C-alpha cells in the first residue's frame, strides 16, 4: 500500500487513472498556505465515487492521494506548457485556477522544492502507472488508459464562457486509434442529451494522455474532462450531488465500455 496513491488491480485491459483525485497537503506545506489554498479547491472531487462502476468492468484504478497543489501529476516533469499561448497552471502551482494565491506573503517555490516534490510524489505515481500499463499489455496484448478528470464549468482566467459538459481529449487523435475514439463519439451522439460535449476542443488531453497513449503499440489513451456541475456543487465544500451524478454516470460508463470493447475487438 502506498501513501502517494490508491490502487486496485482489475482483470480487464482497462486502467482508469485519476491523477487529480487527491486533496491531502503535507503539514509543512500547509503552514505556508492561504486559507483558500488549504481548501484544495481545484481537486477533481468525488471521481472515485462517480467511477464506482469500474469494478464491475474489471478495471484497474489508480488515484492520487495528494493535491495537485503539491504537484500536478498531469503536467510534464520539465513543466513545459501543454497549451502554448494560454494561461499555464503549472507543475507546482502558486495560484488557484481562479487566480487566487496559494501561499502566504506571495511565497515563491524554490527549484529545490519543486525537484523534491517531483521525486517524492510525481515519480511514484508515474512509476505505478507505467508498471500497470506494462502488466496489462503483457497479459492482454492491448490496454485502454482512461484518464478521469473534472473541472469547474466556468473559469474566466483559463477560458471564455462555460465549458461543454463532457470534453474528450486524445491529443488530436495521436493518443488512441480512430475507431476507439469513434466508439466513444457514437455513445455521445446517441445518449448525451441533455449534456453538451466536445472532442479535442479546449481539452486535448494532458501529459498522461499524450505521453502514454501509443496506439501503434496497442496502448490507447482517452481523457474525459467533465464539468463538475454535472455531478456536484462547484463551490466549497464541494458536495457530491447524487441526484445529478446518477444521471451522468450511465453515460460515462457507456463511453468507457464502448472504448474498451473496441480496444479489445481491434486487436482481434
Between CA 22 and CA 46 the distance in angstroms is: 10
Per residue in 151-180, pLDDT (tens digit) is 999 999 999 999 999 999 999 999 999 999
Tell whether domain 5-266 is in CATH 3.40.50.2300.
no
Per-residue DSSP letter, 31: T
pLDDT at 268: 65
pTM of the predicted structure, to 2 decimals: 0.97
The CA distance from 154 to 164, in Å, is 10
For residues 258-268, one letter each, b for 16 or more C-beta atoms within 10 angstroms of the residue's C-beta and e for the rest, the string is bbbebbbebee
- Per-residue pLDDT tens digits for 232-266: 999 999 999 999 999 999 999 999 999 999 999 99
What pLDDT score does 267 carry? 78
* Of the candidates 58, 233, 68, 61, the residue with the CA atom closest to the CA atom of residue 147: 61
Predicted confidence (pLDDT) per residue in 223-238, tens digit: 999 999 999 999 999 9
Q: Which of 18-27, 46-55, 105-114, 210-219 has the lowest mean pLDDT?
A: 105-114
Give the position of cell 465515487: 49
The beta strand positions in 48-131, using DSSP E, are 60-64
Contact 164, 197 (CB under 8 A): yes
pLDDT tens across 61-116, in order? 999 999 999 999 999 999 998 998 888 889 999 999 999 999 998 777 899 999 99
Q: What strands, in cross-sheet order, belong to the sheet with 219-227?
A: 5-8, 60-64, 14-18, 143-151, 219-227, 166-169, 197-199
| Helix or strand holding residue 55 (H, E) | none
pLDDT of residue 200: 98
In this predicted model, what pLDDT tens digit does every residue of 110-135 receive, in sequence order?
Answer: 999 999 999 999 999 999 999 999 99
Q: Where are the beta strands (DSSP E) in the chain?
A: 5-8, 14-18, 60-64, 143-151, 166-169, 197-199, 219-227
Amino acid at each position: 500500500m502506498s501513501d502517494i496513491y490508491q490502487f486496485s488491480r482489475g482483470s480487464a485491459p482497462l486502467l482508469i487513472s485519476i491523477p487529480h483525485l487527491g486533496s491531502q497537503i503535507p503539514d509543512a506545506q500547509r503552514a505556508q498556505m492561504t486559507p483558500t489554498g488549504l481548501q484544495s479547491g481545484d481537486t477533481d472531487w468525488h471521481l472515485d465515487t462517480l467511477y464506482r462502476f469500474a469494478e464491475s468492468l474489471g478495471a484497474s484504478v489508480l488515484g492520487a492521494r495528494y493535491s495537485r497543489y503539491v504537484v500536478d501529476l498531469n503536467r510534464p516533469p520539465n513543466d513545459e506548457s501543454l497549451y502554448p499561448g494560454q494561461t499555464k497552471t503549472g507543475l507546482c502551482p502558486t495560484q488557484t485556477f481562479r487566480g487566487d494565491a496559494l501561499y502566504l506573503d506571495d511565497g515563491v517555490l524554490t527549484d529545490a522544492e519543486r525537484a523534491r516534490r517531483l521525486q517524492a510524489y510525481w515519480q511514484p505515481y508515474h512509476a505505478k502507472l507505467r508498471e500497470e500499463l506494462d502488466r496489462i499489455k503483457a497479459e492482454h496484448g492491448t490496454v485502454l488508459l482512461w484518464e478521469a478528470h473534472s473541472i469547474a464549468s466556468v473559469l474566466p482566467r483559463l477560458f471564455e464562457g462555460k465549458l461543454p459538459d463532457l470534453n474528450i481529449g486524445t491529443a488530436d487523435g495521436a493518443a488512441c486509434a480512430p475507431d476507439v475514439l469513434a466508439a466513444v463519439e457514437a455513445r455521445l451522439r446517441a445518449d448525451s442529451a441533455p449534456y453538451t460535449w466536445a472532442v479535442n476542443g479546449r481539452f486535448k488531453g494532458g501529459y498522461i494522455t499524450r505521453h502514454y497513449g501509443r496506439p501503434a503499440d496497442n496502448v490507447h489513451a482517452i481523457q474525459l474532462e467533465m464539468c463538475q456541475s454535472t455531478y456536484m456543487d462547484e463551490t466549497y465544500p464541494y458536495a457530491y450531488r447524487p441526484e445529478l451524478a446518477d444521471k451522468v454516470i450511465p453515460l460515462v460508463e457507456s463511453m468507457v465500455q464502448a472504448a474498451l470493447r473496441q480496444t479489445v475487438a481491434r486487436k482481434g
